[in-house]
Amino acid sequence: MTSTPWHAAMITPEEDFDGAPLLRKEFTLEEGHGAVVKATLRATALGVYEAFINGAPVGPDVLSPGWSSYEWRLRYRSYDVTALIKPTSVIGVELGNGWYRGRLAWHGLSNLYGNELGFFGQLDIEFADGHVQTVASDPSWQAGPSATIFNDLYDGQTIDARRLQAGWAEPGFASGTDWTGVRELAFDGGRLAEPVGPPVVRAGVVRPVKVFTSPGGKTLVDFGQNLVGWLRFSVQGEAGRAVTVRHAEVLEDGELGVRPLRSAKATDTFILSGGRDTFEPTKTFHGFRYAEITGWPGTLMPNDLEAVVVHSDLERIGSFECSNDLVNQLHRNIVWGLRGNFLDLPTDCPQRDERLGWTGDIAVFAPTAAYLYDVKGFLQDWLLDLAAEQKAQDGLVPITVPDALKYCPQPPEFPAPESSALWSEASVWVPWALWEAYGDHSVLENQYESMAAHTRRVEGLLSPAGLWDSGFQFGDWLDPDAAPDQPWAAKADTAVVATACMYRTARLTAQAAGLLGKHDDEAHFNALADRVRNAFAEHYVAADGTIRSDCTTVYALAIAFDVLLTPELRDFAGNRLAELVRANGYRVSTGFAGTPFITHALTDTGHVDEAYRLLLEEGCPSWLYPVTMGATTVWERWDSMLPDGSINPGEMTSFNHYALGAVADWMHKAIGGIRPLAPGYASVLIHPQPGEGIDWARTSLKTPHGEVRVSWTSDGGEFRLEATVPDGVAADVVLPDGARHSVEGGTYSFGAPLTLGVATGA
C-alpha cells in the first residue's frame, strides 16, 4: 500500500450524467515561489477515468485504473505533468462505468462493487523554493455532462457529438446551467495502492483489409486479424444521423457471427453533429475481427477507419519462427491471444459477457506468457488481488480473480465454491513460473503466504487415503470428446487430475519454502507431497502401470508432474501415451488440463516423433485445424468453428482464448531449444529436439542476463546449430546425437549427424 500523503477526497457528481460525467477544477499557481520544477498528478477512480490538464491527456493510458479487487486494492496512477502546467490551469476528468459499475459476468448484473462513480486525485506542484501547492479532488470541483450517453464494457458506448463541450478542460470555460457541483463519498484511503503492473495503452493500429457487402446487404469490414480494442474514425454527415458499429470475431453464412457473444451487445453508436466528427469509444472494448457498420454517410472506404489495439503495456522479449508456415501462424495466434487477454488482468476471453480473470487459464499459460513478454509486474499485480481474495475467503483461491462471481447467483450445475484443482493452483504455479522465468526472489517472498495457504487448505480436503477425490472439479475441461453442452464430461477421472495437481503443488510449495529458509514448512510440504504421491500410486496406478481412466491426459500429467514412483512406471506411461496418440490419428484428445503438458510428456519420455506429429496434425481437433480455417487467435474449443464453417453450438465458443496456446512453451523449449537451468536463465540449457515436418527453427529470449539466441537447420541427415549466450552465463548445449558441450558467453556453432524420431535425454 502507498505511503503518499493524501489530501484528496473521493468525489462524485451530484447528477449521474448518463454514467459518463465530466469533472473539472480550475486553479491559479501561487505566486512568490519561483518557477515550477515538478508537477505530479496521482489519480484513481471508482469506475474508469481519463485525465487532462489544460485539454492535454496526462498520459497514454486508457481504462485506468483498471480492474482490481476493489474491496481491498484500488490502484492509482502517477503522472509527471510538469510540462502541462500554466499560470492558470484546469484539471479535467472523464469518468465511465468500467468494471466497477458496469456489467460483469453472464448474469446480467451491474453495480457489483458500488452504484456511484467517483474520482480521487491530487496534483502536487513543487516550486523552485521547495514550496508545494496541492490541488486535490474536493467539493469545490464542478461536474457536467459529456458526449457519452451510454457506456458499458460488454455492451458498448454511445457518443452524441452534438453534446460535445469544446474547451471544457481548459481555462476560461463557461459552464452552463447543465453543470452541477460534486459531493464527497465515504472512502477508505487504506485501499489505495500503487500499481505493480503497467497501464493499459493503445498498443497499435490495424487497418481494414476489405470492406464488402454481406448476403443480407450489410456493410462489413474485415480487419484481417482478431484483435481487442475499438474503432476510431472521422466522419461528416447530417446532424442527428447515427452510425452504428457491431463487432464480432467471425462470420457465419456471410453475416456477423454474434451468437458466441451471448448477451454482450458489443455495439457502439455515434451520433453526428453535422460538422466533421472524430469518434473513439474509450470507455468500452471489444474482441473482433469484423465490424458491421450501418448509417455511414456515403460509401465507406477502407481508409475511412482504423482499429485501435488495446492491451497492457508489455515488452516483447521472446521470439520463435520455423520452416512450417502453419506453425508460424499458430505462434502468431498465440501472441495475439495473449495481447487480447492481457488487458489489465489475464482474462479468459475479451468478447462475450464474461472476460474474467479465470485462474485455470493463467495457471497453465504463465510459462508461455513469461517467455513471450515481460509479464512479471503484470502478473505480480494480479497475484496481489488473488492473495487478497484468498485471505478474505479463508484460504480459498477462487476460480476468477478479481472474484466478481462471489456476488452472482451460483449456477445449479456447480455446487458451493471450493478449491478447484488446476484453477486454484494458480496461487502456486504462477509465482513459480515467474520465479523460473525471471529469477526474482521477491516474487516467492511476496506470494509465499498465499502459496502455503492454498496448499494447506487442499491438504484439509484430502481423503484419509491422501487423495483429492471429493467436491466439484472442472477436471480436463473442454475435452474434445465431450458434448458441446457438457464441457466437464472429460475422459480423465477428475480425482486423478486433482490428485496429480495437488502433488505438483505440494512439491513446488516445499521448494519455495526451502528457497526462503522456511525449513519446517519445507519438510511439512515435502512429506505431504510424498503422501499424495504414494496415494496416487496405490489407488490410481494398476500393477501393469495403467493409470485410472487410461487416457492421454492422465498419462501426460503423471509424466509432466513426475508423480510416478519408478522409472519403469514412467517408461510405461510414456509408451502408453504415445500409443494412445498414435491410435487417435495424432489428433488432440486432451482438454484444459492435459493439453499444456502432453507434448512435454511425449518428448521427455523419448517420443519426439509423436510430439511433432501431434503438433503438425491439421485434422480436427488439432492445434493447426483452426489455422487451416483462417484463425488469427487461439480458440476456446478445438472446434469453435466446425469444418462446414458453422459456429459450434456450445455456449463456450470463444475465438480468442489463450489456454490451449500453452503448447508454445514446448515449442520454445523443445523445437527452439531454450530452457532455464537456473531461475532467470542464470544458466541455460540449449537442446533443440528436431522432428519431421520442421527443417529449421530460430528462437530468442531477452533474459535478465542478456539475450539468448538459438537457430538450427537440418538437411540431408546433418544438423547444424548456432547459439549465442550472454556474457557471464553458462550454457549446456546438447545435440541430437547426444553430444554435450559446456560454453559461456559468446556465439558458437555445432554440427552433428541427425536421425529423426530418436530422442536423447537432456
> Is 692 a known active-site residue?
no
For 252, residues 6+ apart whose C-beta sits below 8 A from its C-beta are: 259, 645, 646, 647
End-to-end alpha carbon distance in the chain: 44
Element of type H or E holding 501: helix 494-515
Active-site option among 292, 306, 354, 436? 354
How far is residue 684's CA from residue 727's CA, in Å, rounded to a whole number? 12
| Cα 155-160-161 angle, rounded to 5 deg | 135
**Is the bond preceding residue 65 a cis peptide, omega within 30 degrees?**
yes
Backbone angles phi, psi at 36, to 5 degrees: -75, 125
- Closest CA relative to residue 179, chosen from 169, 190, 192: 169
**234 touches 277 (CB < 8 A):** yes
Query: Which DSSP letter does residue 64 get?
Result: B
How far is residue 270's CA from residue 284's CA, in Å, rounded to a whole number? 13
For residue 648, give the C-alpha cell.
Answer: 459450434
Active-site option among 50, 389, 425, 636? 636
Q: What crossing angle do the helices spanning 608-616 and 567-583 adopt, rounded to 10°?
A: 30
Query: Which DSSP letter does residue 291 get?
Result: E
| Cα 443-444-450 angle, rounded to 5 deg | 105
How far is residue 105's CA from residue 349's CA, in Å, rounded to a whole number? 11
> Is 354 a known active-site residue?
yes
Query: Which DSSP letter does residue 179 get?
Result: -
- Closest CA relative to residue 11, chosen from 184, 169, 264: 184
**705 touches 625 (CB < 8 A):** no
At position 258, the amino acid (one-letter code) is V
Q: CA-CA distances (angstroms) from residue 279 to 62, 97, 219, 224, 286?
A: 15, 19, 19, 22, 15
Residues in the chain: 762
Which residues does residue 229 pair with via DSSP β-bridges, in sequence order? 286, 309
Which residues does residue 119 pair with via DSSP β-bridges, in sequence order? 11, 45
How far is residue 509's CA from residue 527's CA, in Å, rounded to a whole number? 11
CB atoms within 10 A of CB 313: 16
Q: Which residue stretches of 374-425 are H helix?
A: 376-392
| DSSP three-state, residue 661 | helix
Residues belonging to the active site: 354, 636
